Structure 1
Amino acid sequence: MQSVTKPTNGSGRAMPRGLQRWAAAVILSGLVGGASPAGGQEPQAAPSPTAAGEATVASLFTDFLHYSVLGKFDIADTYAQEMLNHPKLDPVEVLRLSEAQAESVDTLLILVNNSTIGERAARVLEVIREGERTLRKQSDQIAINIEKLGGHPQTEYLATMHLVESGEYAVPLMIQTLGDESKKALWNRVIRALPQMGKSALNPLVESLAVRDDNLRETVIGVLGEIGYGQAVPYLLAVASDEATTSSVREAAMSAVERIGQRLGRRFGESPSAAFVELGEQFYDEHGSVAADVRDPDANVWYWNAENQFAENTAVPSRIFGQVMAMRCAERALQLDGDAADAIGLWLAANIRRESRLGVNVESGDPAETGETDPTRPAELPRALYFTSAAGPRYAHMVLNRAIADRDPPVALGALAALQ
C-alpha cells in the first residue's frame, strides 16, 4: 500500500485535521491560484472595517482569519491591511489574540506557503513574534514570576515555564534575587528553575561568574555544570586559573568542567586561552549551538556591570552577533595569553567580516565611511583595514588563508587590501 505523507505546517509538526481538510479544499478548488470560490460565484466586495466606526485590532484579526479560512482572500487581505495599519496595533495584544484562537498560527503558516496573501500573512506572523519578544523582555513581569516561584507546586511550575519563555532576559533578575538576603526563601526555587532555562541562559550566566560573592559564584558554577553546554567551559577554566580565586570556587569550577565533559563525551584541556579560541571559532563559523536566532533582527551581547553587580545586555544586528562574540572570545584569549597568534588571526578576520555585514567597504580605511552601527564598539574605533595592516603580513596571510578556505570574498578582500 502506498504510504501517505502527513501534511505539515512548515515546522515539521503535523497539521491539525481540520486544517488539513481546509488546505486540501483550498488547493483542490483552485483558490490558491486565484480562481473563484466553489459555485463559480465571485467573492463579495470586502466590507469596509471602518464603515461603522473604527474597528478594533481584535475584530480585524478575527475577521482576517475568518475570511482566510473561507478562502475569500481578497476580503481577508483588506482586514489584514487594516489591522497592520491600525494606530493602536500592539504586538502583545495580537499575540494574546493568536493564543486565544486555536490553530490561528497554523492557519497563518498555511497561508504563507499556500495562498495569494502569503506576504500579508507573513507580516501578521511577524507581529505575533514581535509580541513574543516584547513580552519576554518585560522586567516587571519577570519579577512577578520570580516571586511566584515561592508559591504552591502548580504556581511554581507555571512561573518556571514563564521564566523559561523569558530566557536570557530573566537571568540577571534571578541572579540578583540569589544575592538578596531578604529573598532567601526563594533561593532554592530560583536555583531549581535556572537549569531548566537551558542554552538561552548561558550568555548572561557566564558573565555572572564575575560576581563578587563567592557563594553566589559557586551557585552559578553549579548551574552551568548542570546545564552542561561546552560554551561555558572557557569561562569556568578562566575562573579556575585565576590566582585570586578561592580554593572552593576553583574546585567547583573544575568539577563543573568535568561534569560538562562527561555529558559531551570529551576531555577538555586546562588552557582557558585555547578554550576561548575554540569557542571563538564556533562563533565565527556561526555553529548551530552558539549562533543567533536568525528569525530575530537583533541578538544580545552580555556584559557584567561590576559596580551594580548585574549582567546587562547590548543588542546587535543578528547577522554580526557571531563575529562580535568571536572578537570578544579572541580578546579574552589574549588577556590570558598575549602570545596567542591564532587569537589575533581570529580577531582580525572577525572584524573584517563584521564590517562587511554592516555594509562597509572592507578595502577602505576611510574613517569617515559609515555603515550600520555596532553598539558594542566605540564610534571612533579605527577601521578593520587599519588593524590588519598594523598586525603585519604574517597575520594578514593568516586571514587570507582562512578566507580562501571559507570561500569568503569580503574577508579575502580585506586581507588583500592590508597586504598591498
Structure 2
Amino acid sequence: MSIKISKIWLLAAMLSCTSLLSAAAMEENWNDFLHYTAIGRYELAKSKAEALIESDPDPVKMLELSQENPRGYSILLRVYNSNEQLKDAASSIIDIIEEGRYIKRTDPEIIRREIKRLSSTIRGRIKAEKRLRNSGEFAVPYLLNAIADESRKDEMPYITAALGKMGRDAVRPLCAALQMKDVAVKSEAVRALGSIGYSEALPHLKLVWETAETEDIKKLAEKNIQKIKGSALKVSSSDLFFTLAEDYYYHKDSLKPNTEFDFANVWFWDNTQKRLTREKVERGYFFELMCMRSCEWSLKADPETGEAIALWLDGFFKAQQTGIEMPEYFGQGHADAMTYAVTAGPEYLHQALARAIKDKNDYITLNLVEALAASSGEASLLESFGTSQPLVDALEYDNNAVQLSAAIALGGANPTKDFVGSSLIIERLSTAIMQENADKFGEDKAAEYADRAFDVLDKLCSARNRIVKVSKAQKTLIRVIRSDSDKYRIEAAEVLAFLKTAEAQKAIANVALSEDFDKSVRMSVFDSLIHSAKLHGSKLTDEQIDKLYSMTASRAIDSELRESAASAYGSLNLPSEKVKTLILDQARS
C-alpha cells in the first residue's frame, strides 16, 4: 500500500515539475518574442512566436502573462496590424489569449464558486462581486438560478445585491429573463435592471408594467422605470421597442457588444427548460439581429405597429448585406429577406424604402425596389410616404441599378395617371436597352436589365399607355436595331412597330430588306414591319417600296423570305397597279 502511495506522489511530483517547466518555457518564449520584436530582429521573433504556439500553451496562463505586461500586449497588437512578417504568428497568439479570456470569464465552476463567496467575508464578497462583473453577461444565468434555489435563502441578500451591480453587460440577458413566470425571480431581475440604470431596459420594463401578473410587480416595474427615465411611463412599450430597434439599426455606441471577444451573444428565455439560453453570433451583424428582435418585440406588444415591420425588413436586408451566414437560431430553411419583403406588401415596403433612400444604402434600396416591382400594382407603387413617393424618388437615386429597377417597376405597372418624374421612366429604360452600364454591372446583368426593359416597353406599347411616352425612346431604339445584337435588333423592331413615325417604320424596313442579316432575323423584322404597316399605313420611301416589290417578284430569293416580303408589301395597302404588274409578270402568254 505504501509503495502505491509513493508511486502516486512521485507521479504527481513529476506532473507538477513538467507543468512548471512548461510554464517557464512559455513565459521565456513570450518574453523573447517581445524582446526580439522590440529591437527589430523579426526572424528571431518569429521563431520564438512559433515555438510558443507549438508548445500548446495554457490559454488562461497566456492571458495572465499578457495582463502582467500591458506594454508587451500593445507590441503584440501593433505587429499584428503593421508587420506582415509577424502578422500570422501574432494572430495565433492573440487567439490563444482571447481563448484564455473567454475561459476565465465563462467557466461555470469559477462563476458558481464566486457566487458562493458572496456570502463569505466582506473582503471575499468584494472580490467575488468584482470577478462576477468581469464575467458579465455569462454570470447572469447562474445568478438567477441561485436566486431561484430556495435552499439558498440565507445567501439571497448578497446574490441580489451583486446582480444589481453587474453593469451594462448584464442588461440583455436580464431583459430576456423578464419572460419567466417565476414572479419572485422576475422581481429581482426588474430591481437589478433599475439599479444598473441603462435605457436599453426601458421597453422590457414597460412591457412588464403593461402585462403585470400582479399589482406588486406592476408597481415594482414602475419604480424601476422611474429610476432610469420616468417619462418612459408615458410611452407604450411598442414605441419604446421601436426606438430601441432604430438605435440598434444605426449602431448606437452604448449598445455595442463586449469588445473583448470576436463574437456577440443573443439571449433567449427557454420556457420549457425555464432558463436563459444564448446564441453565439458574428459581431458583423449583431446590431442588425438585435434590431430585428426589437422590432419583433414591438409587434408582440402591439401588432398594429406597422413601422416595426418596415424596419425589420431594413434590418434583415442590412444583415444579409454583410455576407455572413445567418445565425443558427434562424433554423434550417429560414426564408431570406426578399421572401419576407415580397410578402409584406407595398405599405411597409415604401416605409422601408424611404429609410434606405435616406440612409443612401444601395443594397437595401435596390432590393426593396425589386420587391415592389415583384409584388405591387400601379396604385400601390405610386403610394406616398410622408411628403414623398419613395419609388419615384428611386428614379433619381445615385445608383444606376436602382434607377433602372425603379423605372422597370413603375413602367411595368402601366401607370394611367401622370406624376412628377414620369418622364424619367423612358430615360432609364433607354439606358437599359443600350446596356450602357455593362462595365459597372457586367455583361450578364446589363443584358438582364435590357431584357426586362424591352418587356416593359412592349407592355406599355400594347396597352397604348399615354403617360409614359415610348416615342421618346425612338432614337435609342433605332440605334439598337442597327447594333450588333440580333436578339435586341428583333426586340427593338417589335417596339418601333408601335411608333407612328416614318423614321421608326423605315428603320424596321432597312433591316428586313438588308441581305447583311440572317434569314431568321429578317423574317422576324418583316413581322414587325407588317405590324407597323397595319397600325400606321405606309411610311416607307419609294426606294424601299421598290426594293420590297423586287423581293416579292424575284424567283431567286428564298421562298420564305419572299412570302414575308409579300405579306409586308400587302400590308402597306398600296395602289393596285403594282399588284396587277406582279400578277401579269408571272402569267404565261
TM-score band by shorter chain is: 0.7 to 0.9
Shift of 1:87: 5.5
Shift of 1:387: 0.8
In terms of fraction of residues, the more helix-rich structure is 2
Partner of 1:273: 238
Residue 140 of structure 2 corresponds to residue 202 of structure 1: no
Note the alpha carbon deviations across 1:137-175, whole angstroms, 9 max, x for none: 111111111111122111111111111111000000001
Inter-partner Cα distance in structure 2 for 1:125 and 1:87:
15
Residue 309 of structure 2 corresponds to residue 344 of structure 1: yes
Residue 31 of structure 2 corresponds to residue 67 of structure 1: no
Partner of 2:327: 374
Shift of 1:178: 0.7
Code of the residue aligned with 2:339 in structure 1: it is: Y
CA gap of 1:166–1:293, structure 2 versus 1, over 3 A, is closer
* Secondary structure, aligned partner of 1:376: helix
Inter-partner Cα distance in structure 1 for 2:234 and 2:208:
14
Equivalent pair of 1:294/1:319 in contact (CA under 8 Å)? no
Shift of 1:294: 5.7
When the two chains are superposed, the root-mean-square deviation of aligned CA atoms in Å is: 2.4
Equivalent residues in 2 for 1:245-260, closer than 5 Å? 245-260=213-228
Shift of 1:379: 1.7
Equivalent pair of 1:225/1:256 in contact (CA under 8 Å)? yes
* Secondary structure, aligned partner of 1:313: strand
Inter-partner Cα distance in structure 1 for 2:40 and 2:186:
58
CA gap of 1:415–1:102, structure 2 versus 1, over 3 A, is closer
- Between the two proteins, what is the percent identity of the paired residues? 29
Equivalent pair of 2:288/2:316 in contact (CA under 8 Å)? yes
Residue 47 of structure 2 corresponds to residue 88 of structure 1: no
Equivalent residues in 2 for 1:18-417, closer than 5 Å? 56-84=25-53, 86=54, 88-101=56-69, 103-109=71-77, 111=79, 119=87, 120-121=89-90, 123-242=92-211, 245-261=213-229, 267-293=232-258, 296-359=261-324, 372-417=325-370
Shift of 1:390: 1.0
Equivalent pair of 2:251/2:287 in contact (CA under 8 Å)? yes
Inter-partner Cα distance in structure 1 for 2:41 and 2:305:
64
* Secondary structure, aligned partner of 1:196: coil
Note the alpha carbon deviations across 1:297-340, whole angstroms, 9 max, x for none: 31101011123321110111111111111111111111221111
How many residues are paired up?
351
* Secondary structure, aligned partner of 1:197: coil
Shift of 1:70: 4.3
Inter-partner Cα distance in structure 2 for 1:293 and 1:200:
7
Code of the residue aligned with 2:372 in structure 1: it is: L
Higher RCO (C-alpha under 8 Å, 6+ residues apart): 1
Equivalent pair of 2:111/2:132 in contact (CA under 8 Å)? yes
Equivalent pair of 2:222/2:233 in contact (CA under 8 Å)? no
* Secondary structure, aligned partner of 2:220: helix
Inter-partner Cα distance in structure 1 for 2:155 and 2:300:
37
* Secondary structure, aligned partner of 2:293: helix
Structure-1-length-normalised TM-score: 0.77
Code of the residue aligned with 1:98 in structure 2: it is: S
Q: Which stretch shifts more, 324-333 or 287-296? A: 287-296
Inter-partner Cα distance in structure 1 for 2:199 and 2:192:
13
Partner of 1:47: none
Note the alpha carbon deviations across 1:66-100, whole angstroms, 9 max, x for none: 3334443321122113323x152442231122234
Which blocks of at least 5 consecutive residues in structure 1 are unaligned? 1-52, 360-371
Code of the residue aligned with 1:238 in structure 2: it is: L
Inter-partner Cα distance in structure 1 for 2:111 and 2:193:
21
CA gap of 1:102–1:396, structure 2 versus 1, over 3 A, is closer
* Secondary structure, aligned partner of 2:234: coil
Inter-partner Cα distance in structure 2 for 1:283 and 1:99:
32
Inter-partner Cα distance in structure 2 for 1:76 and 1:253:
57
Partner of 2:510: none
Computing the radius of gyration from Cα coordinates, the structure with the larger value is 2
Equivalent pair of 1:233/1:275 in contact (CA under 8 Å)? yes
CA gap of 1:344–1:178, structure 2 versus 1, over 3 A, is same
Inter-partner Cα distance in structure 2 for 1:107 and 1:353:
36
